[in-house]
Structure 1
Amino acid sequence: MKELIGTGVALVTPFNEDLSIDTNALTRIVNFCIDGGVDYLVVLGTTGESVTLNKAEKIQVMDTVVAANAGRLPLVLGIGGNSTYRIVDEIKSFESEHFAAILSVSPYYNRPTQEGIYQHFKAISEVTNKPIILYNVPGRTGSNMLPATSLRLAHDFDNIIGIKEASGSMVQVQQILQHKPEDFMVISGDDITALPTVLAGGSGVISVLGQGVPMEFSRMIKLALQGNAAEAYKLHYELQDGMDLIFKEGNPAGIKAIFELLGLSNAVLRLPLIEATEGLKAELSTFIKPFAKITA
């Protein structure tokens, strides 16, 4: 899956003031990311507020992104949850040549054992030929998929081709890198660890901030993949405040505030998430000004 090496971005789902999906804004954001040089797009992940969307709305988002992308970049679709049987049914019924892979989050809330996590992904793997990227994000799920479990899945199933690792632990990242199959991708799921993950041997990042500053973030990752740590770290430190600020009041409140500042969409979220405060928006405005023409 060399097409998924580099910078992927976890797309937001823009909403109108009446909370309907703003397909025009989503189209603008897709084009903004492509023009900025990202390598692939992730649709309906947690940053896309997928848990607040019904089936028809998910199809609307998928269709909008597919049309806007027009075959230019690989697409990855988020399909995950905490009911193995429901996810299996959803994946079995999923047929789309437009998506290169599925990103599936480790089950949340239930807090399964490591064996339960393994059996969950085993069941998913066995019902599809689509490439699967595991997603470990213990800060959201309430349980950490340990390196031994990730590696067991990587070695046991040919269509489990990578992991989006968002544990925040570089030790955990390095343990996976040390023992993974040669072609298994380790993708950073945290913007702040994206650069060290790539320099340690990772394949790239699925970024939140990267969709707001696609040119700079993509260049940072490209430099890292080329082994140019010094130049990559210069960009990292220019972006570091933004990496912190966008998560200060929860995701995707921060990145949606950036899109509002850039004039690409408004900052509306669906409950229980709420818009960034005016104070945070002011901080984000200060951060983003050097990267874009912001007059406010």
Structure 2
Amino acid sequence: GIKEASGNLEQCMRIAAGKPQDFLLISGDDLMTKALYGIGGVGVISVLANALPETFHKLCHGTESESREAAFSLLEINDLMYKEGNPVGIKNLLCHLGICDDQVRLPMLRASMELNQLIKAAAQKFK
């Protein structure tokens, strides 16, 4: 199988079109997950699902309108997750949601004050 996180739908389609039956196409790009399901993807290795499982469940398994609404609600916060490297963004979001501390292992550092404020503001609509 492959965790496909290129963000390139055409590349994903080429993989799906040419893969053997028992080869797993797994989304590694949260916002591309529904599109990958549509072309034969079978799962996701997600960042945002850790903090927003209900929203992410709707994105993957909701009605068409629920899925679209969930995807659009994640647009702003998704980019913030990667501004200073993974898992810095998701740990900061989890902290703002009261789930855990935002401590990360060296050599990474906690989110900068600027990123912290952006994530805090974006997280408000999910509380």
Q: Which has the higher contact order (CA 8 A, sep 6+)?
A: 1
Q: Which of 228, 247, 250 is matched with 2:85 structurally?
A: 250
**Ranges in structure 2 where 5+ consecutive residues have no aligned partner:** none
Q: Which runs of 5+ in 1 are unaligned?
A: 1-161
| Matching of residues 137-216 of structure 1 within 5 Å | 162-216=1-55
Matched residue, 2:116: 281
Matched-pair contact (CA < 8 Å) for 1:208–1:255:
yes
The C-alpha deviation readout for 1:254-291, integer Å capped at 9, x for no partner, is: 00001111222211112221111122111111212222
SS, match of residue 2 in structure 2: strand
Moved over 6 A (4+): none
Corresponding residue for 1:114? none
1:220 and 1:235 in contact (8 A); partners too: yes
Instruction: Give the TM-score normalised by the residue count of structure 2.
Output: 0.90
Secondary structure at the residue paired with 1:263?
coil
SS in 2 for 1:181: coil
Structure number having the greater strand percentage: 1
The amino acid of 2:89's aligned partner reads: G
Aligned mates of 1:236, 1:263 — CA distance in 2: 23
Letter in 2 for 1:249: E
Q: 1:235 Cα shift?
A: 1.0
Asked if structure 2 preserves the Cα contact closer than 8 Å seen for 1:204 and 1:221, the reply is no
What is the identity, as a one-letter code, of the residue corresponding to 2:95? E
Normalising by structure 1, we get a TM-score of 0.41
What SS does structure 2 have at the residue aligned with 1:187?
strand
Query: Distance between the aligned counterparts of 1:231 and 1:185, measured in 2?
Result: 26
Name the CA distance, whole Å, in 1 between partners of 2:64 and 2:13: 17
Match of 2:125 in 1: 290
Aligned length: 127
Using the alignment, how far apart are the partners of 1:276 and 1:282 within structure 2?
A: 9
| Correspondences of 1:97-112 after superposition (within 5 Å) | none
Q: Which of 252, 256, 260 in structure 1 is aligned with 2:95?
A: 260
Identity of aligned residues (%): 38
How many angstroms does 1:169 deviate by? 1.9
Tell me: CA distance 1:229–1:179, structure 2 relative to 1, closer, same or farther (3 Å): farther
Shift in Å at residue 183 of structure 1?
A: 3.5
**What does residue 75 of structure 2 align with?**
240
Structure with the largest fraction of helix: 2
> Whose radius of gyration is greater, 1 or 2?
1
Aligned AA (1:172): Q
Amino acid of the structure 2 residue aligned with 1:240: L
